[in-house]
A and B are shown apart, each in its own frame.
Chain A
Amino acid sequence: DAGVIQSPRHEVTEMGQEVTLRCKPISGHDYLFWYRQTMMRGLELLIYFNNNVPIDDSGMPEDRFSAKMPNASFSTLKIQPSEPRDSAVYFCASSVNPSSTDTQYFGPGTRLTVL
């Protein structure tokens, strides 16, 4: 299995531009999570899906952020318009069952730089 796949690995954009991050979860995993890692806040959960349905988006910082999961093998995280404070590493993770006994598998992340 290729694991969780994220693209692009690096993104540099200018303030005000739209940014779209992509994720392909591990086949058969029903849960998908989007995280953001910064020095100040560590690893914070933005949103997660179960069977393609958003369950909890309370971690999404503002309306500029949106996420979709049109099918079981693809999800996007969009920032529009982007701001310099959005610069961070964004991770996607998937799991079969997020209960206590299961683990989440992370992708390699997308490093976003907004100038």
Chain B
Amino acid sequence: DQQVKQNSPSLSVQEGRISILNCDYTNSMFDYFLWYKKYPAEGPTFLISISSIKDKNEDGRFTVFLNKSAKHLSLHIVPSQPGDSAVYFCAASGVRDDKIIFGKGTRLHILP
């Protein structure tokens, strides 16, 4: 039973355009959400996060939006660059929770 769902296994976007990666969660106790980025033959690295008290967090080209009522979050990358081609994992954790629950990941391809 997947508590964090990334329903798109892959996504292709033209360079310079906006990339939107989506994530849904089922556990209403989750209060902190993260995105990790993973290149081939490397471990995942932290990208950006958002607390449930916010609905938006921005860091340069990356913005994460949180819709608590819909239990949905999304990662926007604007503009998309070739180096953004990677697998993106959505993750969530709960109050006083030591664990992070990851989704299956979405592979993003930035096309030249």
Contacts and interface: CB of A to CB of B under 8 A. Distances in A.
Do the two chains bind? yes
Interface of A: 4, 31, 35, 41-45, 48, 50, 55-56, 91, 93, 98-101, 103-109
B89 interface: yes
A42 B105 contact: yes
A41 B46 CA distance: 20
A109 B105 contact: no
Nearest to B94: A100
B103 to A, nearest CB: 6
A103 B46 contact: yes
A68 B19 CA distance: 41
A42 B103 contact: yes
Main secondary structure, interface of A, reads strand
18 contacts: A35-B102, A42-B6, A42-B89, A42-B104, A42-B105, A43-B102, A43-B105, A45-B102, A48-B99, A55-B98, A91-B43, A98-B93, A100-B31, A103-B34, A103-B49, A106-B43, A106-B45, A107-B43
A44 B89 CA distance: 11
B43 A109 contact: yes
Contact of B99 (A45, A103, A107): A45
Given A108-B41, A108-B42, 15 more contacts: A4-B43, A31-B98, A43-B103, A45-B99, A45-B101, A91-B43, A91-B44, A93-B43, A98-B98, A98-B100, A100-B31, A100-B93, A104-B100, A106-B43, A109-B43
Contact of A50 (B42, B98, B105): B98
B34 to A, nearest CB: 7
A31 B98 CA distance: 9
B22 interface: no
A23 B60 CA distance: 33
